[in-house]
Structure 1
Amino acid sequence: MIISVTRFAAVCALGAVLAACGAPDPPPAPRKERPAPAGAAPSQPPTLAPGPNGLTPVFNNGPRTRDKTVALTFDADMTADQGDRAAAGEHFDNPRLIATLRRFKVPATVFMTGRWAEEYPQEARSIGRDPLFEVANHSYSHYAFTDDCYGLPTVPEVRMRADVKRAYASFKKAGVPRAMPYFRFPGGCYDQRALRTLSTAGVTAVQWDVVSGDAFATDADAVAQEVLDGVRPGSVVVMHCTRSAAPATEQALRTIVPELRKRGFRFVKVSELIGTATHQR
């Protein structure tokens, strides 16, 4: 689910990637809260108020303030029909990436598909129980919520909300104790119909403003430079937690993290950015 903001060709590579893949406590809940989705933790983290006509709100980045925060997000992609590939030895997980985040003590948000949690329940549980991280919803199937989304299969409108709920159920079954009420559309593709259909799911849709370009990338330096060139205060960076589809991401982090810290940036989870945004309105 990576979409290049600088190169259309890199964006097109996303279709294949999409078919593959302590920190401070979150700030208090905003004044206007949405109902917790099924399977989410009982205490509601900060969310955005509904958009126009009650549509699901969309979050792209936090405030551009002097508080130089940045949220690294990692999409744990796996589509519902890729079991045979996993059984044949393809790795949709990336334990070394998670280990590097822990070694550098970098808070992060992992947008996980339900299918990924089913394939790697121990890893899902480990991530979900680590206070350094938060787990958010990336659908169950990793099928698109719009037509013509980088070659992904499409979820029928009548199944969209059920697909989101099924992902939460998969997290719970894997032993993830807290699943955040944040949802990232597969491929980043959404339209008014999708936002309207999910309006009763109680989620905030989370996009991004910085694309790492880690889709199939083998040049870690190029991935790192893409991030470093794009990050601004309040940025949300989209990366991947899939060895087969994004093999250079872990190595790129070893450059990204110390350099951004050198520039005065502080790493936060998406929940902190959303909490800051709601309190400044």
Structure 2
Amino acid sequence: MKTALFILALSLVPFAAGAEPHPVEIHTRLASPIGADKKVALTLDACSGKYDDDLIEFLIQNRIPATIFATKKWLDKNPHGLSVIKAHLDLFDVENHGEKHIPAIIGTDRNVYGIPGEPDVVHLRREVVEGARAVEKATGIAPHWYRDATGEYDPQAIQEIDKLGYKIAGFSVNADQGATAKKAAIEKRLEKVMPGDVIIAHMNKPASDSAEGLAVGLSYLLKAGFVFVRLDQVDLQLIPEKAPKKSP
């Protein structure tokens, strides 16, 4: 998968000689066969900010496994939330979201959604490695998956993350749009989930509608017979991108 991600990035983002490549948002699904088992993966980003107690308690009460992508910033600022997660490592897999929540794009003055990227490869490596160390220190378990800030990557960054030995976690369903979506919108997005989907949402903004919307949407999926898995139990495959239509 890792080599394929690099090839995908290069093939999807043509650019002129000497120009900086555009970042790509990586979309993935579960790699295991998706027959009648209706498996899906819930992933929750803990970027910076706070701990969404309502969301995590809902998952615990309903025994819904999730993969949490936590930054060092979030782990350092939320000891209570971390203690709850550590008490339920049978449900939660904690993976690497970086040290400071920086997009995996390389180049001075480059940014994604207004968030500055890395000035060089050295800084990118630090973001990934220090994020991983923070997760292992906090949980006692070394992470194997990496997700950057914004979910967008440029080809050079993908190559470096591959060299560091981490698999990139994409997604196929954006449930809460960075914790900005309203409850009704989150519910509708989850109603459209299909077997094999990888859901992304957020657990670092308790003032948002994420917890309430996810509670309704995830309950619907449970009643529909979906089974939730963590990323440490599966692998992911790329979703083939549709070629852009040619103008007549």
TM-score (norm 1): 0.68
1:115 aligns with 2:73: yes
Which residue of the partner structure matches residue 66 of structure 1?
Answer: 36
1:197 aligns with 2:150: no
Matched residues in 1 for 2:75 and 2:213: separation?
A: 25
1:138 aligns with 2:97: yes
**Conserved in 2, the CA contact under 8 Å of 1:76 and 1:112?**
yes
Q: 1:254 offset after TM fit, Å?
A: 2.2
Structure 2 counterpart of 1:158, from 122, 125, 139? 122
Spell out the pairing of 1:186-265 with structure 2 (5 A cutoff). 186-217=149-180, 219-229=182-192, 231-243=193-205, 247-265=208-226
Q: Return the letter of the residue paired with 1:112.
A: A
**Conserved in 2, the CA contact under 8 Å of 1:55 and 1:196?**
no
**Conserved in 1, the CA contact under 8 Å of 2:177 and 2:201?**
yes
1:127 aligns with 2:90: no
Q: 1:170 offset after TM fit, Å?
A: 2.0
Q: 1:259 offset after TM fit, Å?
A: 1.0
Which residue of the partner structure matches residue 23 of structure 2?
Answer: none
The DSSP-based 3-state class of the residue aligned with 1:239 is: strand
The DSSP-based 3-state class of the residue aligned with 2:153 is: coil
Matched residues in 2 for 1:170 and 1:213: separation?
A: 26
Q: Structure 1 residues 55 and 124, CA, compared in 2 at 3 Å: closer, same or farther?
A: farther
Q: Structure 1 residues 251 and 53, CA, compared in 2 at 3 Å: closer, same or farther?
A: closer
Normalized per residue, the structure richer in strand is: 2
Deviations 1:48-94 (A, max 9, x none): 464377999x771114433201111110011xxxxxxxxxxxx5221
Matched residues in 2 for 1:166 and 1:129: separation?
A: 23
The DSSP-based 3-state class of the residue aligned with 1:61 is: strand
Matched residues in 2 for 1:69 and 1:125: separation?
A: 28
Q: Return the letter of the residue paired with 1:256.
A: G
The gaps in structure 1 that reach 5 residues or longer are 1-47, 79-90
How many residues align structurally? 213
In angstroms, what is the RMSD of aligned CA positions?
Answer: 2.5
